[in-house]
Amino acid sequence: MSEGLTEQFASLVSGPDSAIELDRAMLLIAAHERPNLDVDRWLSKLDELAAGCSEPTLDGVSRQLFRFDGYTGNAADYYDVENSLLDRVLERKTGIPITLSVLAIEVGKRLGVPMAPVGMPGHFLVRDRVLDDVFVDPFHGGAVLSAAQCRRYFHTMHGPQAPWTDDYLNPVGKGAVLFRTLNNLRAISHGTGETEREIWVLRLMSRIPGMRHEPTMALTDLLVERGRYDMAADEFDLFADAVEDEMPQVATQSRHRAVGLRSQLN
Low-confidence ranges of the chain (pLDDT < 50): 1-2
Residue 175 to residue 187: CA distance in whole angstroms: 18
| Amino acid symbol at 50 | A
pLDDT at position 131 is 86
Q: How far apart are CA 69 and CA 103, in angstroms?
A: 12
Q: How many CB atoms lie within 10 A of CB 87?
A: 21
Nearest in space to 47 (alpha carbons), one of 114, 103, 107: 107
What count of residues does the chain have?
266
Q: Give me the pLDDT at residue 130, please.
A: 87
Q: pTM, whole model, 2 decimals?
A: 0.95
pLDDT of residue 1: 44
At residue 3, the pLDDT reads 61
Q: What's residue 2's pLDDT?
A: 47
Domain spans, the chain: 3-169, 212-263
Q: How many CB atoms lie within 10 A of CB 67?
A: 12
pLDDT score of 264:
85
Rg of the chain (C-alpha set): 20
* Model confidence pLDDT, tens digit, residues 2-47: 469 999 999 999 999 999 999 999 999 999 999 999 999 999 999 9
What is the pLDDT, as a whole number, of residue 44? 98
Please give the C-alpha separations between residue 38 and each of 5, 41, 91, in angstroms, as whole numbers: 12, 5, 13
Q: Are 96 and 83 in contact (CB under 8 A)?
A: yes
pLDDT given at position 132: 83
